[in-house]
Amino acid sequence: MNKYTATLLSLILTSFLFAQDEAVEEAEKDSLYFFFEPEELTIEVGDSARVRITLVNQNGENVENPFYIYGRRRAITTSPRLSDSSGVAMVTVKAFKPGSHELSARSITKKREDRVRGTMPVEIPYPPLKSVTFVDPAETIYEGTTVSFKTVVHDEAGLVRKDAVVTLLSGEPRVADFDPFGNLSAKFKGRITVEASVENITATHTLRIVSNPVRGMSLSSPEEDARTGDVIQFSATPLTRSGKAVSDVPVKYSWTGVAEYGIGLPANAQVTQAGKFVAETAGIYTVRATTGGFTASKSVKVIPREVKSEMELVGHGLVPSVATSDLWVWPGIGKYAGKDFAVTGTWGANGDAYFWDVTDPSNIVPIDTITVDARTVNDVKVSEDGKVCVITREGASNRKNGIVILDVSDPYNVEILSEFNDDLTGGVHNVFVYQNHVFAVNNGRKFDIINIENPREPVRVSVFELKTPGHSIHDVWVVDGIAYSSNWTDGVQMVDVGGLPFIERNLPMIQSNPLLQVAGKGNFRNPISITYKEDQTGRNHAAFPFLSQSTGKFHVIAGDEWFPFGGSDAEAVGNISNPRGGYHFIDMTDIHNPEEVALYQVPEAGSHNLWVQGDTLYTAYYQGGLRVVDISGELLGDIYKQGREIAFFHGYSPDGYIPNAPNAWGPQPYKGLVYFSDMNSGLYAVRFVDKEKKETD
């Protein structure tokens, strides 16, 4: 037998054994399930109960395999959240939020598609209501005006009950009366008592209606024309008979408009009750301000935004046989100074990270591959000095996941320096490298801060974990000593982790970022929460801080990930997924009350990772491809409908992992180009089309 024949037979035998193992694993997976004792649970808010969970096979025999235990976020906590390898866990379940919930278990496996899941019903009864309270009610209102009244209801567990229906009544409907939406219209002067009631609980508030001095109204704005998406600030001034301004009279804003196009579609815009106006369609709009029967109006002309451009392919690094995950592009150092490189991860595959020479972006060349014990290398990041790359591991055969630290000073010959897997059994999904420290999202519940000043001997220095019931984390991004972690229902958390000493910080930078004005107490060893913005949908997946160059306002952009039709693991079995979601723009002017002011959402696709450079947003929109968005100026409303999208590009290849199916994962603008990874076909470099050249051609 010659060497070639022996090698061929060895490969055939290996493939046969691998296929046999796969078949055994599939059969075992189909026969496994979780057994809960008891089978269901009813528990009061604030109480705890014990549940035994066992992973068993079809014969009812215990299977030794670790698994996650988790409850509905903000509703149920579990301790422990991770079983040992015995396949049995005694779990303490504590109730925090009423409703019909589930206690869930999910096995830890090498392949995502081999996971076994089980659930147990948990019923948490609603506590009796305790109180209804008016929220900052008016003490005095003017006749002829309308004021909105708000209430808050608490139950005996101290929880806010948004489901409670409150009835508002006026003691003197002839003098002032409520509409069905809590708006009190004052008709005549007098003193009245209003009542809020829910079930058998009531609260009252007494107020005065006084004579309205307003006898006129003026309305002004600094602009009379704008583009779609531009915000115009209107200012209304109620006036007395003598022309004196009355500052405390409530003013209601409204608008009417006529679209400039003639195909039957309506004009569309919005105006806030602070007088901010923005239009989605071009046309002539009239804004009105009204109070006490007096109205002033002003018309403005809105023209199309006209920011559309096109993008063209520069180069493509095809990954044909596995799914691609994240990317990072960086400049070479040392003897490779002047060259550019990229790294991409792989998803649900064989633990590979691919390294590319992108110096000539029209000829993206693979130059090295690092393979680690994992199914998924979900995230890849390179240090600021270009010396070290950190890759994540999930699905290791020995369940020792965590991170792997690589020397990339020579990208043609990447070297594994060390790995860190202490207390990272559940896997690290995302990381960020900042000032010789790795921020590692650990087991989906916290981030660990790991010192890599000596990359051969990484050391954990601290951990940041929320204390909310059922908390979970997906991603973390660090800029200027602030960590922005994305925590699903708990939303974006802004955490002070130090960074440069205060005296070395750039003063204009501090003035532009309200978070830095209160930071300085935290550091790598002692991360301290500054503020947060919850996500009521529970979809917060990524976040990116953004300082507007055109307005000087500081925002955090919070991105969704949402699979309403199922299939979040679809790529693992070769099917096309169908996600949805968008990006929420959070104004951080008041860090104690972050306010969502705008939304970018492509209706037919799902948002994933993002990047901001200047006043431009680059987004990987899964099946919607790469999207580039104008986020200059003040932001308000639905910026997709305002025509702010500059361009899009769909990456696809007939030779891709899933042929001709765009599935963008992450973008990165770099040296005038935009690089992005596509889950189904690899690494792309694109650029804007030169309009003058195109017109000449």
Mind listing the pLDDT tens digit for each residue in 434-492? 999 999 998 678 999 999 999 999 999 999 999 999 899 999 999 999 999 999 999 99
Per-residue pLDDT band at 692 (split at 50, 70, 90): low
Per-residue pLDDT band at 292 (split at 50, 70, 90): confident
pLDDT at 641 over 80: yes
Domain ranges of the chain: 1-28, 32-124, 129-210, 221-303
Per-residue pLDDT band at 570 (split at 50, 70, 90): very low
Q: What is the mean pLDDT of residues 671-675?
A: 98
Per-residue pLDDT band at 4 (split at 50, 70, 90): very low
Q: Which pair of tokens denotes residue 382?
A: 């390179």
* Contact predicate 134/150, CB 8 Å: yes
Per-residue pLDDT band at 518 (split at 50, 70, 90): confident
Cα–Cα distance, 384 to 387 (Å, whole number): 8
pLDDT at 326 over 60: yes
Predicted pLDDT at 695: 55
Mind listing the pLDDT tens digit for each residue in 361-420? 999 999 999 999 999 999 999 999 999 999 999 988 887 899 999 999 999 999 999 999
Q: Please identify, in words, the CATH class of the domain defined by 129-210.
A: mainly beta
DSSP assignment of 519-544, as one string?
Answer: --S-BTTB-EEEEEE--TTS-EEEEE
3-state secondary structure of 571: helix
Predicted pLDDT at 17: 34
Predicted pLDDT at 100: 96
DSSP state of 165: P
More confident residue, 174 or 27: 174
Phi-psi region of 263 (alpha: psi -120 to 50; beta: other; left: phi over 0): alpha
Nearest in space to 250 (alpha carbons), one of 201, 209, 305, 200:
209
* Contact predicate 490/468, CB 8 Å: yes
Is the domain defined by 32-124 classed in CATH 3.10.20.30? no
pLDDT at 14 over 70: no
Which of these ranges, 103-117, 325-339, 428-442, 583-597, has the smallest mean pLDDT?
Answer: 103-117
3-state secondary structure of 349: coil
Which of these ranges, 61-65, 425-429, 660-664, 681-685, has the smallest mean pLDDT?
Answer: 425-429
Question: CA angle 204-205-208, nearest 5°?
Answer: 145
SS3 labels along 648-697: EECCCCCCCCCCCCCCEEEEEEECCEEEEEECCCEEEEEEECCHHHHHHC
Cα–Cα distance, 607 to 616 (Å, whole number): 16
Per-residue pLDDT band at 30 (split at 50, 70, 90): low
More confident residue, 281 or 22: 281
pLDDT at 583 over 80: yes
Q: Which amino acid is at 688?
A: F
Q: How many CB atoms lie within 10 A of CB 341?
A: 24
DSSP assignment of 101-155, as one string?
Answer: EEEEEEE--SSGGG--EEEEEEEEPPPPEEEEEESS--SEEETT-EEE--EEEEE
DSSP state of 245: B
pLDDT above 70 as % of the chain? 91
Contacts of 269 (CB under 8 A, 6+ apart): 255, 257, 277, 278, 279, 280, 281, 285, 302
Predicted pLDDT at 31: 83
Predicted pLDDT at 442: 80
Predicted pLDDT at 233: 98
Per-residue pLDDT band at 556 (split at 50, 70, 90): very high
Cα–Cα distance, 411 to 423 (Å, whole number): 30
Which of these ranges, 103-117, 175-189, 529-543, 557-571, has the smallest mean pLDDT?
Answer: 557-571
Give 3-state DSSP helix, strand, coil % of the chain, rounded to 5.
10, 45, 45
Predicted pLDDT at 507: 59
DSSP state of 5: H
pLDDT at 113 over 90: no
Give me the count of residues in the chain.
697
More confident residue, 17 or 460: 460
Question: Comparing 32-124 with 221-303, is the CATH topology the same?
Answer: yes
pTM, full prediction:
0.90
Give Cα 146 distance to the centre of its chain. Answer: 37
Predicted pLDDT at 244: 96
* Contact predicate 69/426, CB 8 Å: no
Predicted pLDDT at 24: 38
Q: Which pair of tokens denotes residue 577?
A: 């997924």
Predicted pLDDT at 499: 55
Report the relative pairing of strands 595-600 and 637-638 from DSSP bridges: parallel
Q: How far is CA 570 from CA 22, 109, 348, 419, 587, in A?
A: 18, 17, 11, 30, 35
**Topology given in CATH for the domain delimited by 221-303:** Immunoglobulin-like (2.60.40)
* Contact predicate 49/57, CB 8 Å: no
Query: What is the sign, positive or negative, of the torsion defined by CA atoms of 393, 579, 29, 32?
Result: positive
Q: How far is CA 13 from CA 19, 79, 320, 397, 519, in A?
A: 10, 45, 24, 21, 61
pLDDT above 90 as % of the chain? 82
Give Cα 282 distance to the centre of its chain. Answer: 31
Predicted pLDDT at 115: 86
Burial class (CB in 10 A: 0-12, 13-18, 19+), 331: middle
Q: What is the mean pLDDT of residues 343-355?
A: 96
Cα–Cα distance, 391 to 420 (Å, whole number): 11
Predicted pLDDT at 506: 59
Mind listing the pLDDT tens digit for each residue in 480-499? 999 999 999 999 999 999 85
pLDDT at 26 over 60: no
Q: What is the mean pLDDT of the chain?
A: 91
Helix and strand element counts for the chain (H, E): 4, 55
Residues facing 432 on adjacent strands: 439
pLDDT at 1 over 90: no
Predicted pLDDT at 15: 39
